[in-house]
Structure 1
Amino acid sequence: MTRDILHDGREADDFSDLETGMVQVMRTIYDPEIPVPIWDLGLIYGWTIEDGDEGKDVTIKMTLTAPNCPAAETLPAEVEQGVNALEGVARASIDLVFVPSYSMEMLSEEARMTLGFM
């Protein structure tokens, strides 16, 4: 199963229990320079969940606010560790992408309010 957040949006009403858990994890991880969770920043572009021999294999497509982001080493690792800890996940991995480029339009309404853009 593949989920394209850029196309389908962050507020899908048909998230599985695993997807809901993944979103909860992503709402606890903050960019160290911006007081907003990476989920609300729009850094998560989507994911693929496949059945593996020992559980679900999850590949998360994410980006950074800039290719030279100082958190490039830590944020993907935090997401990977958090999703790996979810029940039913055999393996989580990150596909770090920069296309399409990150832009402020990817911010959720909550993030826009937090950052004073509304």
Structure 2
Amino acid sequence: MNSGDITIIKHSVKGCLIPQGHEIELLPGTEVLVTQDLGGSFTLNVNGNLVRIEGKDADAIGREVKPLPSDGINSSDVVITKELVLDQLRTCYDPEIPVNIVDLGLIYNVEVTEQEQGIHVGIQMTLTAAGCGMGPVIARDVEDKVKAFSKVCVVDVVLVFDPPWNASLMTAAARLELGLM
């Protein structure tokens, strides 16, 4: 089953209405079109509305979640670096755009510091639009994915809007993927 496949909801599942960010419940028997299957979450078209469901609910649409970079890396001898965090963040997607948030240019800064209780990761990021209702959802996804590393005890995600996001912040690969080159 790929993006673009029509499927039926198999059991009740909570989703997030895009772009408002409101929680909704999808009922069994509802026909949906899978429009995006990236980063361990799914974007569905439900009667003309976009809805994001978490990877943990993949079975509701007959899917399995793909492994993340953090899977199997929770050994105590793994060093948590900025590069490792950025690799993990490349599994976070804006549910409306098929480009990860790093290549999209939403990550402004990542700082990894070792503290007594464990690793602290500070992340400054932005959104493609300041009023985006999905901002808290994307920020929570960032936090959850970085906390998947067992040595990370604190993830501090700060949304910043200066400088404002613009298309020049995207990588060349992202611009190419979106047809902007």
In the alignment, which residue of structure 2 is the partner of 1:50? 113
Change (3 A) 1:93 1:17: closer
Can you list the C-alpha shifts for 1:51-77, whole angstroms capped at 9, x where unaligned? 211211111000000111121120000
Q: Map 1:19-38; keep pairs closer than 5 Å.
A: 19-38=82-101
Match 1:65 to one of 128, 137, 146? 128
Report the 3-state secondary structure (helix = DSSP H, G, I; strand = E; otherwise coil) of the residue aligned with 1:57.
strand
In the alignment, which residue of structure 1 is the partner of 2:179? 116
Asked if structure 2 preserves the Cα contact closer than 8 Å seen for 1:59 and 1:93, the reply is: yes
Q: Aligned AA for 2:174? A: A
Match 1:18 to one of 65, 81, 86? 81
Asked if structure 1 preserves the Cα contact closer than 8 Å seen for 2:80 and 2:112, the reply is: no
Q: TM-score, normalised by structure 1?
A: 0.81
Q: TM-score, normalised by structure 2?
A: 0.54
In the alignment, which residue of structure 1 is the partner of 2:46? none
Q: Does 1:91 align with 2:154?
A: yes
CA distance in 1, matches of 2:136, 2:158: 13
Higher strand proportion: 2
Q: Aligned AA for 1:73? A: P
Higher helix proportion: 1
CA distance in 2, matches of 1:25, 1:17: 11
Q: CA RMSD in A?
A: 1.4
Q: Whose Rg is larger? A: 2
Q: Aligned AA for 1:22? A: V
In the alignment, which residue of structure 2 is the partner of 1:78? 141
Which fold has the larger relative contact order, with Cα–Cα distance below 8 Å and residues 6 or more apart in sequence? 1
Aligned-residue sequence identity (percent) comes to 38
Please list every run of 5 or more consecutive structure 1 residues that lacks an aligned counterpart in the other structure: 1-15
Asked if structure 2 preserves the Cα contact closer than 8 Å seen for 1:21 and 1:86, the reply is: no
Report the 3-state secondary structure (helix = DSSP H, G, I; strand = E; otherwise coil) of the residue aligned with 1:74.
helix
CA distance in 1, matches of 2:134, 2:85: 20
Please list every run of 5 or more consecutive structure 2 residues that lacks an aligned counterpart in the other structure: 1-78
Asked if structure 2 preserves the Cα contact closer than 8 Å seen for 1:84 and 1:90, the reply is: yes
How far the C-alpha of 1:17 sits from its partner, in A, is 4.8
